[in-house]
Structure 1
Amino acid sequence: MKQEKVALNVNEVPKPQKWLILSLQHLFAMFGATILVPFLTGLSPAVALVSSGLGTLAYLLITKGKIPAYLGSSFAFIAPIIGATASGGVEGAMVGSFLAGIVYGLVALFIRLLGLNWLMRILPPIVVGPVIIVIGLGLASTAIDMAMYVPGIDEQVYSSTHFLVALVTLTVTIIASIFLRGFFGLIPILIGIVFGYIFSIFQGIVDTSEIKAEWAEITSADSIGEFFTAIFQKPDFIIPFVNYSPFEVLSGEIILIMVPVALVTIAEHIGDQMVLSKVVGNNFIKKPGLHRSILGDGVATIIASFLGGPPNTTYGENIGVLSITRVFSVFVIGGAAVLALFFGFTGIITATISSIPSAVMGGVSILLFGIIASNGLRMLIDNQIDLSDKRNLIISSVILVIGIGGAFIQVTENLQIAGMALSALIGVTLNLLLPGKESGYGNGTMFDDTDVSENKEHVA
């Protein structure tokens, strides 16, 4: 098959008049999903945008400017952040995120020293696929609660208005995903949120008081200095040793809630790198190396934990943008990161994001969380995992029921291993103990980094 030509290669700089548009396109592609995670977990969307931008810039630096990947808020950490917050507050979730980033760094070191085979033994597709399904389906009740019930009250009160808004948002998102092409086909989540927001205004469930306050402050500015002060505001950062002491909130429960998830997201990261390598035509697993890309993910997550943002991960949405546009320039990705920083420090944008009704986010979450679960199923299919094999059937079944069913082990009065973390640990244990390990690898290429061509052809 003939190799598609490249519009801009990895290290090429776009012309100034195109640079902004190309970077905005990547920003819009990641925007809806990135702000959804802090919205669901009670974190600041502004901080999430800032940590996303800084994390992406750090990633580009660590990978020597050779991998055009954008990093945004990780969906896999939604339930763990909620659980860690319940245990140790938002500060506890940040400590857990920091430790997850450290796990990334350790795995990167081991890969650099030992290669990939050891990781394949721990996390074959038969373990990773079902755990990803657990991540998606475990969040299903969160999406439905947001879609159906009145927010902000302790008891669940059904609201037909909120559910209608959620269904309209979901419908528009589905239509945009299926029927729109080109640039608009890359941002169905954002389109769904915008339409849902507009519909919510007519339904009378949008609180615009913060937006009006921000706008009033901007329009009442008497000087250029006051004008810029009104527009640009410092997000609500949560900084260790400034706002809290990490050692006071660290607990064994937080470690067990957050750290095991890192192993699952690392496996997802490897899959993203495989796809990205094939899209661009450069073997990023070999050069600059998988250890660098995983380290970049870990550093981005650590940066987020220092600011009060959710853990970061490479975004499939932005890989889709690369695939369609054939613009692989890391300068475009870097431009999107700078724009994310700008948005994070812009008060009126933050106020607008905060005013989005939970029903709107519930509507898009119904689709997004289902897609996460479907991606786990796709991993099993792509790797040709044989579920007629008793070993595979047992491992996947146990992971699914324990993870979705909410099983937990009470270690001490204040320490338990629950949900996804427990299902992942049991899945890894079963895979290591049961005979016939080769069947868990399937016949796919989850960790095969040899079938990636080097693309030299591009258009200036």
Structure 2
Amino acid sequence: MTWLALSFQHLFAMFGATILVPYLVELDPAVALISSGLGTITFLLITKGQVPAYLGSSFAFITPIIVAKAAGGVGAAMVGSFLAGLVYGIVALIIKATGHKWIMKILPPVVVGPVIIVIGLGLAGTAVDMATNNPAGEYSLQYFSVALVTLLITILCSIFLKGFFNLIPVLIGIAGGYLYSLAIGIIDFSKVIEAKWVQAPDFVIPFVEYTPSVSLEIILLMVPVVVVTISEHIGHQLVLGNVVGRDYVEKPGLHRSLLGDGLATMLAALIGGPPNTTYGENIGVLAITRVYSVYVIAGAAVFAILFGFIGKISAFISTIPTPVMGGVSILLFGIIASSGLRMMIDSKLNLGSKRNLIIPSVILVIGIGEATLKFEKFDLHGMALAAIIGIILNLVLPYDKDEQTNHETA
């Protein structure tokens, strides 16, 4: 029973964020649950059962998936996600052969921090629209009140709740907003009543639902996001190592954890789920419980898979009003942006340096302004373009004398 309780804690910790991503990009949340469970089990196997990490839906891919779906349908988005996972595998092989220090030279905080800020602020408009508009797309004070109540509950839980409950403010906020929505009568339970207890989710299978086609536009739209997610992955491995008291970058090796993450994303793409990434929320659960068993993590993964096949649960998730998700999104997307700023602060980035001022400035304006580089056969959009330009600027711009000394000794 203790094992079940611990696994459920991990399930609850990842649940809110994992279903929010497919909700925003119009994929089936049940598939996202299943892909997160399968991806986590795959990750545990690839890392030889040594890294107790849970994988859930990645926020970094929200905008690229939306743009990819608009350009070529859900099939294009899944192909792009698969290619992003494939890049993980390629990087993992290079790291196995050459070590991992080079990748941090290419992806320093001066590049990754601003790109993370772009991810959060680039989604601000989406969050506000979800929070303020009714199903007809018109402003609704009633719907906005739902978003504000949800946001307030989430904030209060984040600040005042302690222990495990402090790790699931999003889930509690969604529950509170849902109850408020129920009280004002904007929830329709007909789908839940009609749903079967056991039913297959809306899987999106290649060669069944669509014929895979690789285009340069999709590659340039989805693959550059890996710049951010690999940095996020490395950060999580370092934090997890500090919590558990082991060096996971050395053993089982960064190449194994990256490969596991990449295979999880490729697997998700093959069934119609969003790309996966390791979850900080579950690292927080490990820190509180001090139970670092991979079997507990695997148990949560199994529960996620089972939940995905329970039709009543899938239907219940679909009844969550848009402003409820809008309310938590206002906070979550802001936190994403703030985490990019925190990365720059924690790395003691000297913005008095012209180099360190120019790189974030260019990344932020190009990314948030959604600049597009258009050629005849492809477009390179906002965040992807910003990430590539940021990497190039980091490689070519000269350091100040003091910084050059510090860079060479790093």
The normalised TM-score by structure 1 is 0.87
2:152 maps to which of 171, 196, 199: 171
Structure 1 partner of 2:95:
111
**Does structure 2 retain, via aligned residues, the 8 Å contact 1:125–1:441?**
no
Structure 2 partner of 1:342:
306
Q: Is the deviation greater in 84-93 or in 198-207?
A: 198-207
CA distance in 2, matches of 1:438, 1:122: 20
**Does structure 2 retain, via aligned residues, the 8 Å contact 1:399–1:427?**
yes
Q: After superposition, what is the alpha-carbon deviation per residue over 1:29-49, rounded to whole angstroms, capped at 9, x for unaligned?
A: 000000000000000000000
Q: How does 1:52-451 map to 2 (within 5 A)?
A: 52-151=36-135, 153=136, 156-214=137-195, 230-247=196-213, 250-412=214-376, 414-436=377-399
**Does structure 1 retain, via aligned residues, the 8 Å contact 2:100–2:254?**
no
CA distance in 2, matches of 1:440, 1:202: 58
Please list every run of at least 4 consecutive aligned residues from structure 1 whose deviation after the TM superposition is greater than 6 angstroms. 437-444
- Give the superposition deviation at 1:117: 2.6
- Give the superposition deviation at 1:232: 1.2
Q: After superposition, what is the alpha-carbon deviation per residue over 1:94-151, rounded to whole angstroms, capped at 9, x for unaligned?
A: 0000000001001101111111232122211100000000000000000000000113
Q: Is residue 20 of structure 2 the alignment partner of residue 36 of structure 1?
A: yes
- In 2 relative to 1, CA 441–259 (structure 1 residues): closer, same or farther, beyond 3 Å? farther
Q: After superposition, what is the alpha-carbon deviation per residue over 1:38-81, rounded to whole angstroms, capped at 9, x for unaligned?
A: 00000000000000000000000000000000000000000011
CA distance in 1, matches of 2:232, 2:332: 16
- Give the superposition deviation at 1:252: 1.6
CA distance in 1, matches of 2:132, 2:108: 38
| Residue aligned with 2:209, SS | coil
- In 2 relative to 1, CA 358–440 (structure 1 residues): closer, same or farther, beyond 3 Å? farther
Q: State the identity as a percent.
A: 65
| Residue aligned with 1:66, SS | coil
Amino acid at match of 1:165: V
Larger radius of gyration: 1
CA distance in 2, matches of 1:295, 1:78: 22
- Give the superposition deviation at 1:202: 1.6
- Give the superposition deviation at 1:437: 8.1
CA distance in 2, matches of 1:402, 1:355: 37
Amino acid at match of 1:406: E
Q: Is residue 12 of structure 2 the alignment partner of residue 24 of structure 1?
A: no
Amino acid at match of 2:395: L
The normalised TM-score by structure 2 is 0.97
- Give the superposition deviation at 1:371: 0.5
| Residue aligned with 1:30, SS | helix
- Give the superposition deviation at 1:205: 1.6
Structure 2 partner of 1:14:
none
**Does structure 2 retain, via aligned residues, the 8 Å contact 1:34–1:49?**
yes
- In 2 relative to 1, CA 343–438 (structure 1 residues): closer, same or farther, beyond 3 Å? farther
Q: Is the deviation greater in 201-210 or in 306-315?
A: 201-210
- In 2 relative to 1, CA 431–254 (structure 1 residues): closer, same or farther, beyond 3 Å? same
Amino acid at match of 1:122: I
CA distance in 2, matches of 1:40, 1:134: 17
| Uncovered stretches (5+) of structure 2, i.e. residues with no partner | none
CA distance in 1, matches of 2:404, 2:66: 32
- In 2 relative to 1, CA 443–188 (structure 1 residues): closer, same or farther, beyond 3 Å? farther
- Give the superposition deviation at 1:209: 1.2
| Residue aligned with 2:163, SS | coil
- Give the superposition deviation at 1:164: 0.4
**Does structure 2 retain, via aligned residues, the 8 Å contact 1:386–1:439?**
no
| Uncovered stretches (5+) of structure 1, i.e. residues with no partner | 1-16, 215-229, 449-460
CA distance in 1, matches of 2:342, 2:167: 21
CA distance in 2, matches of 1:190, 1:107: 34
**Does structure 2 retain, via aligned residues, the 8 Å contact 1:385–1:443?**
no
**Does structure 2 retain, via aligned residues, the 8 Å contact 1:132–1:372?**
yes
Higher helix share: 2
